[in-house]
């Protein structure tokens, strides 16, 4: 098994020639820091809204999309399954507006992937959430109910155990929920395709250009890279993912950096045929430390687990990316879910940081002078929503006031998380408590009362760990 930080998708997508680092000072209309999906979709939308705008994008890695954007599970979903949470936080109208905006983002990604020359394996097979213990049999009920009450009943529907089995027969699965509008894609191929379209549109992209200093002034923003080169721009966007925990202005101290890891098998089309998983569904279980899995065109199973360690502060590397212990546990879980894989090879493993927000929802927040904005907090559901958030960021940066700038995730109230090291100690205790409780539930045992009590803490304080 090849266990690396970058993983299978980035290798499969192939090499591209890196863009040269910024070596000289520049002036621009819009500066974007971070070349993951959020930064790249922001540039993509901004170019469409204002084709003459001079846009500069600075990325720290040698190539854009090498962070979580190129390494994720490739579940491309809207936010209907968060409808109950959205409604509870911001009310019916705001929740529906975000639901529709996130759905439109998935439609835009589908159209982008259908364009000539883009082969990102976009497959609209829907998303299925399944219960794997009696404790989770209410899976999706709150959001299905919210969809029905708000007049969008077709977005989510409950599945019986028999319906779940016909889509994918695992001995672990019980009842489920289906979101038909979701898809899977190859994340690194998508990242490279957006990057290519930005270069073709004339966006100035500089890679290996980590921004060391970013400041807002009355007339705009200024960023300085590691080599001392500067960009001065009228407006700025910080799309730096989990790094926003350390330097994200208003998001500082409001994120948790969890981690998630993926293993992928050799092609096993015969197993997929046998268990009936041929419809391309993206599947998750109902656990707090969620398992998520999908297939590929050549018949592999990619199997992810949100049970990785919590990082201290804003550390995005180390065991957030490569963690042999977590991956070993995950390989065991893979066989429990799909016993027909015994004797089949896991070929690759990798991982990455998850920017978890205490709201379980992404947020766009303004820096004090409203010359720059920072966006993060996708909590493991960013593939679709980054396109929606990118549109809001582009609109804000072009001084527009329109529907995307009025969505409720723009400048929301975000609860603080405790300072370090208490946050890390508490987060790890909660993660281990949840892991122990969920293992007991799976085995049909009563959870240890201490683990059960600790596992309840996130619910009580509105804190989420996520995918």
Ligand X SMILES: Cc1cc2nc3c(=O)[nH]c(=O)nc-3n(C[C@H](O)[C@H](O)[C@H](O)COP(=O)(O)OP(=O)(O)OC[C@H]3O[C@@H](n4cnc5c(N)ncnc54)[C@H](O)[C@@H]3O)c2cc1C
How large is the angle between the packed helices 83-90 and 92-114, nearest 10 degrees? 140
Give whichever of 384 and 412 is closer to ligand X, judged by the CB atom: 384
Contact letters for ligand X, residues 161-200 (x by CB under 6 A): ----------------------------------------
CB of 151 to ligand X, least distance (A): 26
Q: Are 207 and 19 in contact (CB under 8 A)?
A: yes
DSSP structure class, residue 162: H
Give whichever of 35 and 176 is closer to ligand X, judged by the CB atom: 35
Give whichever of 292 and 303 is closer to ligand X, judged by the CB atom: 292
Our finding on whether 123 is near ligand X (CB under 6 A) is no
Give whichever of 28 and 262 is closer to ligand X, judged by the CB atom: 262
Contact letters for ligand X, residues 50-69 (x by CB under 6 A): --------xxxx-----xxx
How many residues make contact with ligand X (CB under 6 A)? 42
Structure tokens at 131: 């219960």
- In this structure, the number of other CB atoms found within 10 A of the CB of residue 277 comes to 23
Give whichever of 316 and 454 is closer to ligand X, judged by the CB atom: 316
434-441 long-range contacts (CB < 8 A, ≥24 apart) are: 434/287, 434/288, 434/289, 434/458, 434/465, 435/289, 435/307, 438/133, 438/287, 438/288, 438/289, 441/133, 441/134, 441/135, 441/136
Query: Could you tell me where the DSSP H helices lie in 50-181?
Result: 83-90, 92-114, 141-149, 161-167
Answer whether the bond into residue 30 is a cis peptide, omega within 30°.
no
Exactly one of 99, 248, 380, 426 binds ligand X (CB under 6 A); which one?
380
Structure tokens at 420: 């370090």
Give whichever of 69 and 136 is closer to ligand X, judged by the CB atom: 69
Site for ligand X in 226-285 (CB under 6 A): 239-241, 243, 260, 262
Contact letters for ligand X, residues 80-109 (x by CB under 6 A): ------------------------------
Alpha carbons 259 and 358: distance in angstroms, whole number: 15
Give whichever of 364 and 439 is closer to ligand X, judged by the CB atom: 364
Exactly one of 46, 73, 129, 173 binds ligand X (CB under 6 A); which one?
73
Q: Are 250 and 43 in contact (CB under 8 A)?
A: no
* H or E segment to which residue 336 belongs: helix 324-337
Exactly one of 8, 9, 37, 112 binds ligand X (CB under 6 A); which one?
37
Which three-class secondary structure state does DSSP give residue 458? helix
Exactly one of 33, 129, 263, 388 binds ligand X (CB under 6 A); which one?
33
Only segment of 95-103, 229-237, 272-280, 377-385 that touches ligand X (CB under 6 A): 377-385
Exactly one of 382, 404, 412, 426 binds ligand X (CB under 6 A); which one?
382
Exactly one of 6, 30, 35, 265 binds ligand X (CB under 6 A); which one?
35
CB of 102 to ligand X, least distance (A): 10
Our finding on whether 36 is near ligand X (CB under 6 A) is yes
- In this structure, the number of other CB atoms found within 10 A of the CB of residue 111 comes to 11
Give whichever of 260 and 265 is closer to ligand X, judged by the CB atom: 260
Alpha carbons 185 and 417: distance in angstroms, whole number: 33
Give whichever of 241 and 433 is closer to ligand X, judged by the CB atom: 241
Give whichever of 290 and 454 is closer to ligand X, judged by the CB atom: 290
Write the DSSP assignment of 189-257 as a string of letters. HHHHHHHHHHHHHT-EEESS--EEEEEEETTEEEEEETTS-EEEEEEEEE--GGGHHHH-GGGTTS-EE
Angle (nearest 5°) at CA 114 between 377 and 47: 60
Backbone angles phi, psi at 21, to 5 degrees: -60, 155
Our finding on whether 38 is near ligand X (CB under 6 A) is yes
CB of 350 to ligand X, least distance (A): 7
Residues that bind ligand X (CB under 6 A): 33-39, 58-61, 67-69, 71-75, 210-211, 239-241, 243, 260, 262, 292, 304, 351-354, 376, 378, 380-384, 386, 467
């Amino acid at each position: 098994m090849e266990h690396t930080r970058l993983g299978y998708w980035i290798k499969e997508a192939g090499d591209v020639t890196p863009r040269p680092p910024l070596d000289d000072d520049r002036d621009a209309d819009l500066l974007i820091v971070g070349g993951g999906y959020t930064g790249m979709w922001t540039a993509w939308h901004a170019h469409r809204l204002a084709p003459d705008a001079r846009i500069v994008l600075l990325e720290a890695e040698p190539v854009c999309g090498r962070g979580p954007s190129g390494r994720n599970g490739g579940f491309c979903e809207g936010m209907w399954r968060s409808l109950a949470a959205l409604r509870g936080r911001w009310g019916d109208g705001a929740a529906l507006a975000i639901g529709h905006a996130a759905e439109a983002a998935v439609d835009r990604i589908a159209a982008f992937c259908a364009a000539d020359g883009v082969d990102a394996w976009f497959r609209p097979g829907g998303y299925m959430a399944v219960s794997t213990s009696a404790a989770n049999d209410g899976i999706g009920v709150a959001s299905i109910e919210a969809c029905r009450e708000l007049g969008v009943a077709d977005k989510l529907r409950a599945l019986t155990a028999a319906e779940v089995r016909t889509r994918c027969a695992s001995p672990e699965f019980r009842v489920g929920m289906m979101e038909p509008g979701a898809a899977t894609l190859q994340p690194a191929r998508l990242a490279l395709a957006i990057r290519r379209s930005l270069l073709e549109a004339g966006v100035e992209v500089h890679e290996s250009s980590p921004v060391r200093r970013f400041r807002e002034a009355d007339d705009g923003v200024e960023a300085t890279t590691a080599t001392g080169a500067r960009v001065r721009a009228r407006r700025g966007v910080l799309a730096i993912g989990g790094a926003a925990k350390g330097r994200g202005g208003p998001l500082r101290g409001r994120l948790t950096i969890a981690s998630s890891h993926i293993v992928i098998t050799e092609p096993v089309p015969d197993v997929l045929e046998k268990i009936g998983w041929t419809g391309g569904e993206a599947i998750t279980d109902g656990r707090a430390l969620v398992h998520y899995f999908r297939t590929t065109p050549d018949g592999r199973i990619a199997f992810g687990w949100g049970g990785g360690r919590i990082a201290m502060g804003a550390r995005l590397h180390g065991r957030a990316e490569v963690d042999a212990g977590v991956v070993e546990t995950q390989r065991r879980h893979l066989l429990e879910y799909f016993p027909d894989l015994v004797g089949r090879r896991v070929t690759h493993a990798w991982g990455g940081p998850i920017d978890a927000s205490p709201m379980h929802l992404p947020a766009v927040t303004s820096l004090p002078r409203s010359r720059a904005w920072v966006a993060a907090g996708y909590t493991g559901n960013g593939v679709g929503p980054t396109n929606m958030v990118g549109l809001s960021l582009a609109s804000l940066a072009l001084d527009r006031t329109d529907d995307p700038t009025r969505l409720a995730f723009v400048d929301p109230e975000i609860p603080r998380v405790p300072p370090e090291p208490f946050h890390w100690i508490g987060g790890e205790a909660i993660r281990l408590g949840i892991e122990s409780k969920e293992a007991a539930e799976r085995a049909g045992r009563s959870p240890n009362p201490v683990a059960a009590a600790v596992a309840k803490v996130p619910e009580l304080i509105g804190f989420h760990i996520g995918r």
